[in-house]
């Protein structure tokens, strides 16, 4: 879910929204909504996988999924990079299509 939001939203937000701050904030809100939705959906699966063998009760866990946190942080930062890339592409295209005042 967060990968889909990052890939589908980040570059277009950077390309179509003029304000860098608004594009980043909009991406962050969309990403965090998807992260919460995904975390609530996956929480029972994580809790079941973290139980040590022979443990009883729901609060007993053997390890914490730090890899999930690292992946979600990486996707979050990748999204900001894509927003910046979209902004760069827009500026590059505008500079390329602008008339050259020297040759005019």
If one counts every other C-beta atom within 10 angstroms of the C-beta of residue 69, the result is: 10
Q: What is the tens place of the pLDDT at every residue in 58-68? A: 555 556 678 88
Q: What DSSP letter does each residue of the chain carry, written as one string?
A: -HHHHHHHHHHHHHHH-S-HHHHHHHHHHHHHHHHHHHHHHHHHHHHHHTPPTT--SSS--S---HHHHHHHHHHHHHHHHHHHHHHHHHHHHHHHHSPPTTT-
Residue 89 DSSP SS3? helix
Does this model's pTM top 0.85? My answer is no
Q: How confident is the model at residue 3 (pLDDT cuts 50, 70, 90)?
A: very high
Q: How confident is the model at residue 100 (pLDDT cuts 50, 70, 90)?
A: confident
Q: What is the tens place of the pLDDT at every residue in 6-60? A: 999 999 999 999 999 999 999 999 999 999 998 888 777 766 666 666 666 655 5
């Amino acid at each position: 879910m967060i990968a889909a939001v990052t890939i589908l939203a980040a570059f277009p937000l950077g390309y179509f929204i003029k304000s860098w701050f608004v594009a980043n904030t909009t991406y962050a809100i969309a990403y965090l909504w998807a992260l919460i939705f995904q975390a609530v959906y996956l929480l029972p699966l994580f809790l079941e996988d973290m139980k040590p063998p022979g443990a009883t009760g729901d609060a007993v866990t053997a390890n914490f999924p730090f890899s999930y946190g690292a992946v979600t942080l990486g996707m979050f930062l990748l999204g900001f990079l894509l927003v910046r890339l979209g902004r760069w592409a827009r500026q590059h295209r505008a500079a390329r299509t602008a008339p050259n005042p020297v040759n005019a």
